[in-house]
């Protein structure tokens, strides 16, 4: 269990000392170090990167480049394989607009996917006529890999899946999925938004082709994220956003693209956001991903042990592997009502379909209430949650 002093890194709790924040799967809070790194850029060396032959611009370029290098090391990637984006959703849409797919191909997703990893592929299917297929779930909310073997074949162009379900906490067996896809010549795209701040990721070990995540889910700022791609795949892929800085040469009728990573970073980037994301990586590494994982899993077990008295667990059963997410339903209570009453006691949870509406329809439920954990959460937060659920039952009779 992490020391309680971790909470002191986060100014939100200075302003809201009684807050129990359990919506980390949606967005995490931001530590002082990230805010200070961004403030330093804005107050002491704000300038555009790459383009100015003067001291402020050179300092901004150095800080921006250093952030990319930190993130690359964090993933065990090369810096030129790390593309700054506005977030995971943007990265997935970039790939859906840039990768070559024809009507003869199929794309395989899972039943777990967030809208951001479903709708771009729906639209690509509509444009090209390619088939969408889905890996099914078993009765325990886990991916049914027998159906994966059936759906992924020689006509599969892409397999795009979440690493951890944001809605019900299911952990995808990425090693099996990637191996199966590669054996059929398909590329794999992984949405690591719910994994990046919770467990180590090494893009070389599992041979990732593409990976996306958002900074605001890993103690960083909003409006910044990462698209990782293998260098050879990035070099083969055409950009879909054009403008300044991504050009090698241009005349009035033709243009050629800059080398990686600039090829995919048209226009002025979110410089402060990138610097803040680099500081977020520093923060996570200072605490240690192994320590974070153990801390959150301890909180997860503690919650699930007490939950059955009040609510039904949705997703993987007690004892099964699960991300730092607990989705649940109180019998006869809409999840929105659960969240609204918990809010009266300064307990922040998520409620609804969690941008995974097809999954909720598939499970035949209206949505869930969801508690999700971060480094600053404590057993006392779980106690407050369980007490709050008792209050929900009491208030609603």
The set of catalytic residues is: 355
CA distances from 217 to 159, 214, 220 (A): 23, 6, 7
- Rounded to whole angstroms, how far apart are CA atoms 141 and 315? 5
- Rounded to whole angstroms, how far apart are CA atoms 351 and 219? 21
Two structure tokens written together for 119: 């709708």
- Rounded to whole angstroms, how far apart are CA atoms 338 and 355? 18
Alpha carbon 185 to chain centroid, angstroms: 26
- Rounded to whole angstroms, how far apart are CA atoms 130 and 150? 17
DSSP state of 11: T
- Rounded to whole angstroms, how far apart are CA atoms 160 and 92? 9
- H-state helical runs in the chain: 12-15, 32-44, 55-75, 88-98, 119-128, 145-151, 174-183, 231-236, 271-287, 289-306, 335-344, 357-363, 379-395
- Rounded to whole angstroms, how far apart are CA atoms 262 and 260? 5
DSSP string, 151-172: H--TTEEEEEEESB-TTT-PBP
All residues at 6 or more sequence positions from 152 whose CB lies less than 8 Å from its CB, including other chains = 108, 159, 180, 181, 184, 186
- Rounded to whole angstroms, how far apart are CA atoms 367 and 291? 31
Closest among 345, 337, 359, 350 to 387, alpha carbons compared: 345
Burial class (CB in 10 A: 0-12, 13-18, 19+), 286: exposed
H helix count then E strand count, the chain? 13, 15
């Amino acid at each position: 269990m992490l020391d309680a002093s971790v909470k002191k890194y986060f100014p939100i709790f200075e302003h809201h000392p009684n807050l129990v924040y359990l919506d980390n799967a949606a967005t995490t809070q931001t530590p002082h170090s990230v805010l200070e790194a961004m403030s330093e850029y804005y107050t002491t060396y704000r300038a555009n990167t790459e383009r100015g032959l003067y001291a402020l611009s050179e300092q901004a370029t150095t800080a921006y480049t250093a952030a990319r290098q930190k993130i690359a090391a964090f993933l065990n990637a090369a810096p030129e394989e790390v593309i700054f984006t506005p977030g995971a959703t943007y990265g997935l849409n970039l790939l859906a607009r840039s990768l070559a797919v024809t009507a003869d191909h199929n794309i395989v997703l899972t039943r777990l996917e967030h809208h951001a990893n479903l709708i771009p592929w729906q639209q690509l299917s509509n444009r090209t006529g390619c088939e969408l297929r889905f890996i099914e779930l078993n009765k325990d909310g886990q991916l049914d890999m027998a159906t994966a073997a059936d759906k992924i074949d020689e006509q599969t162009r892409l397999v795009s899946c979440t690493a951890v379900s944001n809605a019900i906490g299911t952990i995808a067996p990425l090693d099996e999925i990637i191996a199966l896809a590669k054996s059929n010549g398909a590329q794999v795209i992984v949405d690591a938004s719910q994994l990046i701040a919770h467990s180590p990721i090494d893009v070389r070990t599992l041979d990732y082709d593409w990976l996306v995540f958002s900074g605001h889910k890993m103690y960083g700022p909003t409006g910044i994220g990462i698209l990782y791609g293998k260098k050879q795949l990035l070099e083969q892929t055409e950009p879909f956003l054009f403008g300044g800085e991504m050009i090698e040469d241009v005349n009035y009728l033709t243009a050629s693209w800059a080398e990686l990573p600039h090829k995919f970073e048209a226009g002025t980037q979110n410089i402060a956001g990138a610097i803040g994301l680099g500081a977020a990586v520093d923060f996570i590494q200072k605490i240690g991903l192994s320590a974070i994982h153990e801390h959150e899993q301890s909180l997860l077990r503690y919650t699930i042990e007490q939950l059955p008295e009040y609510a039904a667990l949705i997703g993987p059963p007690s004892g099964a592997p699960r991300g730092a997410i607990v989705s649940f339903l109180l019998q006869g209570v809409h999840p929105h009502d659960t969240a609204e009453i918990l809010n009266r006691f300064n307990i922040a949870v998520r409620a609804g379909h969690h941008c995974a509406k097809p999954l909720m329809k598939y499970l035949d439920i209206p949505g869930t209430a969801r508690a999700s954990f971060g480094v600053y959460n404590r057993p006392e937060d779980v106690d407050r949650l369980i007490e709050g659920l008792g209050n929900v039952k009491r208030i609603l009779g």
